[in-house]
Structure 1
Amino acid sequence: MGILIETSMNVTFPTLIKELGVSLGTVQWVTTGYLLLVTITMSTTSYLLKRFPAKKLFLFAISCCLTGTIICGLADSFGVLMFGRALQAISTGISTPLLFHLIFSLVPTQHLGFYTGFASMIISFAPALGPTYGGTLNNFYSWHSIFWVALPLIIIIMYSGYRTIELPFKQQTKRFDFRGFTLLAGILVALSLAVNQAGQSGIASWRFITILLIGLVLIGILIVLNQHGQFNLLNLSILKDRTILLSSLVYFFLQFTNIGISFVIPVLAQNTLKTTSMVAGLILLPGSLLGAIVAPLAGRLYDRKGFFLPVLLSNLSLLLGTWLFYILTDDLTVVLITVIYVFLRVGFNLGFGNLLSDASKQVTSEHKPDLNSLFNTLQQYAGSMGTGVLAAVIADQELQPQSLAIATQTGSQRDFLVLVGLSCFNVIAVLMIQHWKQSVKN
């Protein structure tokens, strides 16, 4: 439910701007800030999974989700809404890695691709369905109803998890790395604020440059601490394996594209094509449904054929889909957007879960929680940065003396070009990973 609500607010941005009296650069923090806090929370899960039983973590997470949903449903100001979203973010930040931890702990290796694909189906389908869910309720009722409708299902999930989650547990007494946590949180916040300032003030503004420099300095400190073995929050040593390193980057850019484009399309549809929020959300529904069907099938394909085929097809599909969005921006219609998005979503689900499945086979069982935490942290921060960067590009165009429709169209086209570049990188990276794998075999 946390992942569904994650993007359900995207299509309500025009409504929130009017009702709460905030700008696009501010209101996008409803999603960007949420994803940022999810990322920060996920960075702690390697420690949490070794320190607390799975059932206790689940009950804490679902309680945060329940409380946050009630607060959001009652919110009458931007600050109250963000507080509720923060509690929901903590919930998602714990429960998503917990889901994969249960899979990696209980599922036999020969079936790992299918079950990881099924879990990835939920993770990728829910945020894509979010705009449809949010747009429909916002159109017929209000944005508050997005949270009230979800409440009964959250209660059912709480009861079901309490009754069924059981996992053997051996507690580890490793100390929590508070210094590393503070440093990593500072880096993530600084980079997100820098992106936001770029959209509001431009990349030449002193605020953007100052915040970016702070983020870069903090990254330098983290690198030094990691080299001396003094950064223990995330086990970055697993990235010494070059296949895992490149796989993590491909994974990051896939999710960057997935969440980012689910932000751009509804905004483009409403501001340029003048659709309602419900139609803007429904545009994403066919692609979301077909992508959900493909995800477990892609896992089966991975179990039988291995890494290369599904992951290469995935990234080639995203490259073609984003390129079509870019060259056809001026001629896009609701039908055309829907068709291209279907193609793009099917491609995304071919590779997303399989990247995590393959990476999990490259590490020992001792390091699986570390890999799980790292990949889920990257996944969520990719969503935060995807929304933030692409929103900043559109917001920058809105600073120019032109209509909102033209500004959104121009900004969206530039967003699509950014995604084309990332997809090109991913295709090259997949070819390199396969080459390295073949070299090891030979």
Structure 2
Amino acid sequence: MNKTATSHDNQGQPFNRTLFLIIIMIGMFCSNFNQTILAVAQPTLMHTFGVTAATAQWLSTGYSLIVGIMTPVTAWLADNFSSKWLFEFSMGFFLIGTTSCYLANSFNALLVGRLIQAIGGALLAGIGTTMLYSIYPAKQRGTVSALMGIVFGLAPAIGPTFSGWVLDNWDWHNIFGALIPLILLAFILGFFGLRDVVMENKSRLDWPSVILSTLGFGSLLYGFAMIGNLGWTNWQVSTGIIVGSVLVVLFIRRQLHITNPVLKLDIFKSHNYSISVSITSISQIAFAGFEFVLPLYLQTVHGFSAMESGMCLILGALVNAAMSPITGYALNHFNGKRMIRVGLVIMLLGTLPFIFVTPTTPLIEIILLYAVRSFGFSAVQMPVTTMGINGLTKDLISHGSSGNNMMRFTASAIGTAILISVQQDVANQKMLTQASKTSALLSGYHVAFAIVFILLVLGLIMGQMLKEKEVLNK
């Protein structure tokens, strides 16, 4: 067996690293693909089930909400249970949830299926990343960065295109039906190709922390998600945000004062890790939130079909996928901090023109600008994550991975909800004074794109704070 393709598990037994990687990557691809698979399907589902845009948004926001709630617990699970069987358990949940979505005949049934998917997705996000980082030394983690970059960049980006094609040619149920064979393949291969590679550090589960985390993140995300339906001044929104914030603070305080925390906040003692998580959150909003708003603009302002709006994103997906191996190589050999700064500047340049789009903006311009943003994102997301993880000792990798995913998914859910609600609020206000519905909608999109631009400026400022030589985890 080729030594470069061989690694050893926790018992010192050799295994095929290539097969191991393929299985993990399939699982993570399905999970990330699933995040944006309904982006262009929103108008179709709104019409099918007779729900508003804010209600339909729960199919995406609810997914991220569950992932955000569960992610803190994944670090404890990784410390206390077999990484191989955690992966299989997560794929099982994902399979059940996807099958439920495929068979759903009502909005509530579809939403329940999505939430079951999210349980598997939360576990996959934490344990999958931890398993990949555990089989590579710090100096080779640019390879992991490249592999995950392909998944994190390509899968969410081609999701809208794929679902658009399905909607134009088949029934929406087939969006989920097409995923079932791929999930089943990873589930079956996992029995034979996976090994335990994450070091266990058994501890007692602190249930008060779990309750605080669940209620805190759940209330916080619920409050933000309801803004689109109820408005910023509604008591349910304000109560959810305030109560959630208080409980999250109590959760953090408890983790700092108990001996067996669910999430070890020592990870934030690393300067690079703290900064990297902040940049990751910002870039996730700027990419995932933007990716949710752009198809709506294309469909409501330009009058494109679901497939046409999805096709506008495919070049960006291909650029992201093509750049990921290059980014991974560059991270192993060059200055990661500089790569991140350049990537953020490129995202800024690709975002600025969207603030001024019109109903007559050429389609080719939109496609190229989105590709430019994707190019910049590929130079930011995985390098900044790798720099953060490399600032941790090996025993904190699972907690660092969970913390990163918790912030990433929480930011995605809150950011998308805010962008959609702001767009709707601005459009509704403009409709009171303007005769043209298109003009009012366009004003809302302009403001949403401007918010993304401002966030990227903040991310660029934070990028200056990274320390290139803080690599503690050898």
Under a length normalisation based on structure 2, what TM-score does the superposition of the two structures give?
0.88
Q: CA RMSD in A?
A: 2.0
Letter in 2 for 1:117: A
1:329: how far off?
5.0
**Correspondence 1:11 to 2:44:** no
The 1:49–1:336 alpha-carbon spacing in structure 2 relative to 1, beyond 3 Å, is same
Q: Give distance in 2, aligned partners of 1:222 and 1:61.
A: 25
1:178: how far off?
2.1
1:256 to 285, 304, 318: 285
1:299: how far off?
1.4
Letter in 1 for 2:316: G
Q: Is the 8 A contact 1:201 1:396 kept in 2?
A: no
**Correspondence 1:385 to 2:414:** yes
Letter in 2 for 1:95: L
What corresponds to 2:222 in structure 1?
A: 193
Letter in 1 for 2:400: L
Q: Is the 8 A contact 1:198 1:396 kept in 2?
A: no
Q: Give distance in 1, aligned partners of 2:275 and 2:201.
A: 30
What corresponds to 1:375 in structure 2?
A: 404
Q: Give distance in 1, aligned partners of 2:101 and 2:445.
A: 29
Shifted more, 304-313 versus 343-352: the winner is 304-313
Letter in 2 for 1:423: L
**Correspondence 1:349 to 2:378:** yes
What corresponds to 1:414 in structure 2?
A: 447
Q: Give distance in 1, aligned partners of 2:317 and 2:61.
A: 21
Q: Give distance in 1, aligned partners of 2:136 and 2:252.
A: 35
1:73: how far off?
0.8
Q: Give distance in 2, aligned partners of 1:98 and 1:326.
A: 38
Aligned length: 438
Q: Is the 8 A contact 1:225 1:231 kept in 2?
A: no
Q: Is the 8 A contact 2:158 2:317 kept in 1?
A: yes
Letter in 1 for 2:338: L
What corresponds to 1:405 in structure 2?
A: 438
**What SS class does the counterpart of residue 44 from structure 1 fall into?**
helix
Q: Give distance in 1, aligned partners of 2:288 and 2:106.
A: 25
Q: Is the 8 A contact 1:135 1:280 kept in 2?
A: yes
What corresponds to 1:177 in structure 2?
A: 206
Q: Give distance in 1, aligned partners of 2:82 and 2:370.
A: 40
Q: Give distance in 2, aligned partners of 1:115 and 1:382.
A: 23
The 1:105–1:288 alpha-carbon spacing in structure 2 relative to 1, beyond 3 Å, is same
- 1:157-183 deviations in whole A, cap 9, x for unaligned? 222222211134654331122222221
1:355: how far off?
1.1
**Correspondence 1:337 to 2:327:** no
What corresponds to 1:85 in structure 2?
A: 114
Q: Is the 8 A contact 2:131 2:198 kept in 1?
A: no
2:144 to 85, 91, 115: 115
The 1:30–1:230 alpha-carbon spacing in structure 2 relative to 1, beyond 3 Å, is farther
- 1:260-285 deviations in whole A, cap 9, x for unaligned? 01101111111111000000111110
Q: Give distance in 2, aligned partners of 1:70 and 1:333.
A: 40
Q: Give distance in 2, aligned partners of 1:377 and 1:169.
A: 19
What corresponds to 2:104 in structure 1?
A: 75
- 1:91-148 deviations in whole A, cap 9, x for unaligned? 1111122222222211133221122221122022111111001111011112111011
Q: Give distance in 2, aligned partners of 1:216 and 1:65.
A: 29
What corresponds to 1:144 in structure 2?
A: 173
Q: Give distance in 2, aligned partners of 1:226 and 1:151.
A: 38
- 1:55-90 deviations in whole A, cap 9, x for unaligned? 211211111111111111111111110111111111
Shifted more, 9-18 versus 150-159: the winner is 150-159
1:185: how far off?
2.2
The 1:17–1:427 alpha-carbon spacing in structure 2 relative to 1, beyond 3 Å, is same
Q: Is the 8 A contact 1:200 1:395 kept in 2?
A: no
What corresponds to 2:465 in structure 1?
A: 432
Q: Give distance in 2, aligned partners of 1:168 and 1:253.
A: 31
Letter in 2 for 1:108: P
What corresponds to 2:341 in structure 1?
A: 312
2:90 to 58, 61, 67: 61
What corresponds to 2:160 in structure 1?
A: 131
2:320 to 281, 285, 291: 291
Q: Give distance in 1, aligned partners of 2:243 and 2:306.
A: 38
Under a length normalisation based on structure 1, what TM-score does the superposition of the two structures give?
0.94
Q: Give distance in 2, aligned partners of 1:58 and 1:112.
A: 21
The answer for unaligned runs of 5 or more in structure 2 is 1-29
Letter in 1 for 2:281: F
1:21 to 50, 60, 64: 50
1:267 to 296, 303, 306: 296
Q: Give distance in 1, aligned partners of 2:253 and 2:68.
A: 22
The answer for unaligned runs of 5 or more in structure 1 is none
**What SS class does the counterpart of residue 152 from structure 2 fall into?**
helix
The structure richer in helix per residue is 1
1:7: how far off?
0.8
The 1:285–1:428 alpha-carbon spacing in structure 2 relative to 1, beyond 3 Å, is same
Letter in 2 for 1:224: R
Q: Give distance in 2, aligned partners of 1:359 and 1:401.
A: 43
What corresponds to 2:246 in structure 1?
A: 217
1:212: how far off?
2.3
Q: Give distance in 2, aligned partners of 1:247 and 1:329.
A: 35
Q: Give distance in 1, aligned partners of 2:90 and 2:440.
A: 40
Q: Give distance in 1, aligned partners of 2:358 and 2:137.
A: 46
- 1:403-422 deviations in whole A, cap 9, x for unaligned? 65334322211111111111
**What SS class does the counterpart of residue 432 from structure 1 fall into?**
coil
Identity %: 26
Shifted more, 121-130 versus 160-169: the winner is 160-169
Q: Is the 8 A contact 2:281 2:411 kept in 1?
A: yes
